[in-house]
Amino acid sequence: MAAPTTTVDISTLLWMMPSPAGGRLCLADSGVSLRTVIWLYKLGSSPEEIQDDYKHLQLPAIYAAIAHYLANQAKLDAEWAEDDAESERYRIYYEKHGKLPGA
């Protein structure tokens, strides 16, 4: 079997899905977020098991997501902790007032 003649630029395996809140990093050709993949990975799923659950994902993209997370773990964990805290603040406000702040 002949070796492939092209290489894949690993940066093409992840993309930023735009949003008013600044966007979220997703796996190529999907709307599956980096955070979703890492959540499954932290629960003990292997990249191959994640692909079994999300058959449309490319295995190299799953590995790229994990590598990106491991290279930026402290920053991403801090960002996600703040996101979770903000969501919890909104949930508490909504339970108390029956609406979201500013609504």
In this predicted model, what pLDDT tens digit does every residue of 19-71 receive, in sequence order? Answer: 876 788 999 999 999 999 999 999 999 999 999 999 999 999 999 999 999 99
Residue 5 lies inside a defined structural domain of this protein: no
Residue 4 lies inside a defined structural domain of this protein: no
**Which pTM was predicted?**
0.80
Quick check: 1 pLDDT over 70? no
Residue 69 lies inside a defined structural domain of this protein: yes
pLDDT average, residue stretch 3-16: 86
Question: 54 φ, ψ to 5°?
Answer: -125, 75
Question: 27 φ, ψ to 5°?
Answer: -80, 145
The number of folded domains in the chain is 1
6-15, Cβ contacts within 8 angstroms, sequence gap of 24 or more: 8/60, 10/60, 10/64, 10/67, 13/58, 13/60, 13/61, 13/64, 13/65, 14/61, 14/64, 14/65, 14/68
Q: Pairing state of beta strands 24-27 and 14-17?
A: antiparallel
Q: What is the pLDDT of residues 53-66, one digit of tens each?
A: 999 999 999 999 99
Which CATH number does the domain housing residue 68 bear?
1.10.10.10
Residue 17 lies inside a defined structural domain of this protein: no
